[in-house]
Amino acid sequence: MPAEIIDGAAVAAKVRAEVARDAAALATRGIIPGLTVVLVGDDGASAVYVKAKEKACHEAGMHGETIRMPASTTQAELLAVVDGLNADPKIHGILVQMPLPKQIDPQAIIRRIAPHKDVDGFHPVNVGKVLIGDSDAFAPCTPWGALVLMQAYNVSTAGKECVILGRSNIVGKPMASLMVQPGVDATVTVCHSRTKDLVSHLRRADIVVAAIGKAEFVTGDMLKPGAVVIDVGINRVDDATAKAGYKLYGDVHFPSASEVASLITPVPGGVGRMTIAMLMKNTVRAASMVLA
């Protein structure tokens, strides 16, 4: 039987409705949740993504703004902007869009953002809090969104074998941190480019989270029958027949994997839809902390 498709758009819409409700409640108490995104340079994909974030803020009744800076911006100039946002009480969430121009050290920028405004969840303080299960943590939006998708579809995680493909700071490592927390209770294996006999790990996995950035790398014959497959990958592959000149593919070969899995996320329409929704949720929570 073909896998049930996890509808990321529907779950994201539900999360965003909850965000709008919570933002409205805060507004009655004089607090308008505010998110500022800083975009340095003119990367086309980043510009589209940033525009979507600003639109999502406005739809939720939040304050959303974008600060655009030229590609020639120095690290000192960007740090000064971050310092100003840290000090602005109307701004509850700060996100500096990656990638940054080569003259700027991204870690220096991430570490400068006040942890209580780090709604992207990449500051070392939040990374550590996620790892130890601190309830004050801001979890990175993509892995948190992947977990929320599993929960929305009542995926049993306790005691299950979860294999994560990829060890990035953006998805792989925080995904592992989230999956081992009490209440989730998965047994986690993180695989990467130096893993030996990768397929043997995949074939015993009850849950596979693919986040390695290789189009259609995971095929159906690598999976355990009935596995839950969460495809985080978004890969642009040139295709002259497509209107945009390219098509989007996940890290999983959907046609073959969907014949083996029990649940699977599509690309697009899966995890990607959750990222902005969880960013909005983090921002509203950051605003609510003002009342604490």
CA distance 58 to 211: 30
97 in catalytic set: yes
Q: Which of 53, 117, 129, 224 is catalytic?
A: 53
75 is catalytic: no
Determine how many CB atoms are found less than 10 A away from the CB of residue 39.
20
Active site residue: 22, 117, 118, 120, which one?
A: 120
Q: Residue 28 and residue 73: Cα distance in Å, rounded?
A: 39
247 part of the active site: no
Active site residues: 53, 97, 120
